[in-house]
Copies of this chain bind each other. A is one copy, B any other.
Amino acid sequence: MVDDHRQRILLAAARVYAVQGWRGATTRRIAEEAGVNEVTLFRQFGSKEALLDLMMHECSRIDEAAILPREPSEPGAELLHWVSAHHAGLSGRRAMVRQMMSDAEERPDAGHCAAHNASTAAAHLREYVVQLRRHGWVLAGDEITPTEVRAAVTLLMGAVFADAMNRDIMPMLYTEPLDDTLRAYVRIFLRGIGAPKEPVALRERTVDRLPSSTFPFSV
């Protein structure tokens, strides 16, 4: 019963905050949205700041992102699935992420919460690229530098982030359907890191010839 109330208030706070931001998320509005008395809010959480801080941390704990397989078998399809899931997650939290990023100027903690998901997702993608390389999906010895591979990761992550954040308010930029766009993102990304569309002829033990230490991805 107790936790039920706390949860309801936290969810209400998240909804109000996503639309109205920190200053607009008044204790009155949150209480009204939760269907509780305003005083209950203070008795449960102490202050507005404590409540919103907790809410933001709870929100950033959610990791609903799809998982990239450890052993790549179909990079294009796997990446598309993962990117779609990541985009969907970001898109669903769009309003809240926007508020957090604007609050980052005054409340660094909000920025941290907004960055958390993106950071872990980027780490997953980096690890996946390492595996791609390990399993011979990436043409080694290219003119593609390790820095460029790292940049390709932030390029893809950034493009998906911007797409999720801006597609609704920039119709001039995002004219093509979401599906086609994400598919193209993935294709360009794979081309960018030197992975051909067709499966590379499986060279046996490419791993031995490309020790992971030469690759600058530790995590």
Residues of A within 8 A of B (CB): 18-21, 23-24, 95, 98-99, 101-106, 108, 111-112, 114-115, 118-119, 122-123, 143, 145, 147-148, 150-152, 154-163, 165-166, 169-170, 172-176, 180-181, 184-185, 187-189, 191-192, 197
Contacts and interface: CB of A to CB of B under 8 A. Distances in A.
B151 A19 contact: no
Contacts of A119: 170, 172-173
B95 A98 contact: no
Nearest to A219: B172
Contacts of A165: 101
Of A21, A102, A180, A189, the most chain B CB neighbours within 10 A belong to A102
Contact of A188 (B102, B114, B152): B152
A148 B115 contact: no
A151 B185 contact: yes
A184 B144 CA distance: 9
29 contacts: A21-B102, A24-B106, A98-B102, A99-B102, A101-B102, A108-B169, A111-B169, A114-B169, A115-B173, A118-B166, A118-B173, A119-B172, A123-B172, A143-B197, A147-B180, A147-B184, A148-B184, A150-B176, A151-B176, A151-B181, A154-B163, A154-B174, A155-B155, A156-B159, A158-B161, A158-B162, A158-B163, A162-B162, A192-B192
